[in-house]
Structure 1
């Protein structure tokens, strides 16, 4: 890997990091922010505030990815997504003076999520395009995600204690940084390399992609690759459902901690937003710092042990957090959650790169982020509902055993993928893989 590619890996990782910080800045003080924006500020209102953004992630992640594959361009789309996210955050900050109701706030969150997921998912896709080791590249993405969440939880908690709207302004600045950073990176998507042109003109890219990606099928018909076709190719690849399932559950746990974890530490241990953010960082800190070495490790030893064994240990540590009788023990358990989460995350993302063809990476990673966003949504909804109906400890048990369950159910499929065998998916023949 030459120096230029290393610099670009760092730049793209910084872009992923900035997007994550922009999101997580709002989490520690979400109850105060929701009240400032006209909501109730309770667990239910906080849940819908977070759910609205991730609902847009689910709908638009695959569309951004398929569009980038079809046009052969990623950089201009990332810039558009980041700038659109800036506009939505600035509009959100103006809500108190505009007199917009909480329903309007949720609509702004939906539109902002539709833009932001483009910047996030395609930045990760560009890391996939770099080569030099899938585990290494996804480790870089993972450390950016984890470190972004760690920094965002601490800084967001501090900002929210000064002004509930301060995290919103910070998020807008960070997405502006993403647009600037990404514009300096060479577009290495297969379509861009075939056309041999830069990444500054989306319209030209669309024209080139129609020429470059069009092929004649065995029946002589023209099989031109468009967004719909790329999405269909990914949907028809059953092996991708394995890392997608793990991504769903892993993000479910992250969504759970981002909402229920914050309320849990504030309600049970009497912490303010800054204190809850610090404890959340006990998870995200090691989760971030260990992503890259764990990704490299998965390149060396394979994906099975990090994904399956790591998921079991991860689930157990989640239950331990909910069972801890003191803040000290709970914080220590959060560190273990971060360590085992770091073992799982880059190996799972690397599986996506292992399976997808080069011209499907945008849609494949978009699909992964769709399932991840669905996981976040489920984490918010399942966590919030179970915490209110059953209690905090029971909610931790439900989420922890969900992580353990996916590891046990899918262990055979992961082993077969790790050894290069075809994967049997219920309801799908192996010949279809």
Structure 2
């Protein structure tokens, strides 16, 4: 299932390094706001449908067929977007297809992570596996996507479709281990309101994904405009962030099972936010690239432990809905990152945009530190037992 998560992330991140060329080839023009619209269309659907997929999977007691359906629908949407110039479709139709694609893709992504939540052996370890898959997928997608876009601006879309087909085929081989009686779709909102502690990891997830959306759009544009690099080099620069981000996810998640979630979440978020601001102060591309490595290390302490907090406070029968809610907030964060980056950059420039994104990460850590401590103290994770490891 980690490989399924990885495949979905690669399919999305393939588009980021050469986004300017891809959007122009699809009839969207060359401005940063058109690129924002292209990304927002998909992530708006992620917000709308993440909890729906989770609730349905909890209610029917199955994840696998829904993951296959989500991956297949996402692949079809990528192929239609890539074919839109040949079909004579305008940019408005492309945005509509992106909405449909997002509605499907979020099912594959969210339920693949939920399947990892269903396993025993330590919530931090399992979410570390998910975080590693996310980071490695983003790293590979950055490098390969830049090269593909340099050769053909529509090639990342075809590559994404192939990966989503592979994700669906792979998910079809994995048995379901859904634990619990299920959660009816109509009770989603009520159950989320009944567990206000979920709002703490949700808030961190929102801001963390905001920074991810910021880097996907504004970070790439900043590197290309400021240092005059092409899509291939920009993809390599993003990989400098994602590789350490991926490599440390699993060990940090496992470590948090033993020492607790507080320090990785709160201290990691503060360091992460300060690192983001520092990137915009880099005088040279080499310095900026080195800072991206530092930012990736800091981010690795936040992602798996935040997802593990969701599992810590959620009964097994409601995990699909809980992770769906987490992905709703995360997708809202990505949307906000696109908007903050695009709008603030257009109005005030890159430096204020980086300051806003990094400042929000520091602010959430300071404001929510007490709540994180209370949750971590009340649900102190135990080391996995031999029975857990046998699951």
Q: Same fold (TM over 0.5)?
A: yes
Distance in 2 between the 1:186 and 1:235 partners?
A: 31
Query: Do residues 189 (structure 1) and 147 (structure 2) align?
Result: no
Structure 1 residue 242 corresponds to structure 2 residue 200: yes
Look up the SS of the partner of 1:39 in the other structure.
coil
* Corresponding residue number in structure 2 for 1:364: 322
CA distance in 2, matches of 1:38, 1:328: 34
Cα offset for 1:230?
Answer: 4.0
- The equivalent residue for 1:298 is 256
Give the whole-Å Cα distance in 1 for the aligned partners of 2:150 and 2:368: 43
Cα displacement (A) at 1:236: 2.0
Q: 1:70 aligned to 2:28?
A: no
Once the two structures are superposed, what CA deviation does each residue of 1:93-124 show, in whole Å capped at 9, x if it has no partner? 11011111100000000000000000000000
How many equivalent residue pairs?
380
CA contact (8 A) 1:247 1:368 kept: yes
Map of 1:279 onto structure 2: 237
Where does the alignment leave 5 or more consecutive residues of structure 1 unmatched?
A: 1-11, 192-211, 214-224, 423-433
1:165 aligns with 2:154: yes
User: Which residue is equivalent to 2:335?
Assistant: 377
Which stretch of the first structure deviates more once superposed, 141-150 or 233-242?
Answer: 233-242
**2 CA distance for matches of 1:92 and 1:322?**
33
Q: Which runs of 5+ in 2 are unaligned?
A: 381-391
Aligned match for 1:135, one of 118, 121, 124: 124
Q: Paired residue for 1:7?
A: none
Which residue is equivalent to 2:42?
53
Match of 2:290 in 1: 332
The 8 Å contact of residues 84 and 115 in structure 1, kept in 2 or not, is answered as yes
Q: Is contact 2:313-2:379 (8 Å) kept?
A: no
d(CA) in 2 for partners of 1:240, 1:295: 18
**What aligned pairs does 1:66-215 form with structure 2 within 5 A after superposition?**
66-191=55-180
Alignment of 1:394-405 (within 5 A): 394-405=352-363
Structure 2: how far apart are the matches of 1:408 and 1:421? 21
2:280 aligned counterpart, secondary structure = helix
Pick the structure with greater CA Rg.
1
What is the distance in 2 between the residues matched to 1:298 and 1:245?
Answer: 19
* Contact 1:70-1:230 within 8 A present in 2 as well: no
Q: Distance in 2 between matches of 1:238 and 1:298?
A: 22
How many angstroms does 1:235 deviate by? 3.0
- Distance in 1 between residues matched to 2:7 and 2:262, nearest whole Å: 30
SS in 2 for 1:190: coil
Provide runs of 4+ in structure 1 moved above 2 Å: none
Q: Is the 8 A contact 1:28 1:156 kept in 2?
A: yes
**TM-score normalized by structure 1?**
0.87
Residues 15-69 of structure 1: per-residue CA shift (max 9 Å, x gap): 0000000000011111100111111122111011001000000000000000000
Q: Are 1:231 and 1:363, in contact at CA under 8 Å, matched by a contact in 2?
A: no
SS in structure 2 of the partner of residue 146 of structure 1: helix
Task: Report if the CA contact (8 A) 1:66-1:231 is conserved.
Answer: no
Q: Distance in 1 between matches of 2:121 and 2:199?
A: 25
1:271 alignment partner, SS class: coil
Deviation at 1:300, TM superposition (A): 1.3
Kindly provide the CA deviation profile for residues 407-431 of structure 1, in whole angstroms up to 9, marking residues without a partner as x: 0000000000000079xxxxxxxxx
- 1:297: how far off? 1.2
Map of 1:253 onto structure 2: 211
- Equivalences for residues 3-22 of structure 1 within 5 A: 12-22=1-11
CA-based RMSD? 1.1
Give the TM-score, by structure 2 length. 0.96
CA deviation after TM superposition for structure 1 residue 231, in Å? 4.2
What do residues 197-243 of structure 1 show as CA deviations (whole Å, max 9, x unaligned)?
A: xxxxxxxxxxxxxxx65xxxxxxxxxxx4111244212321000000
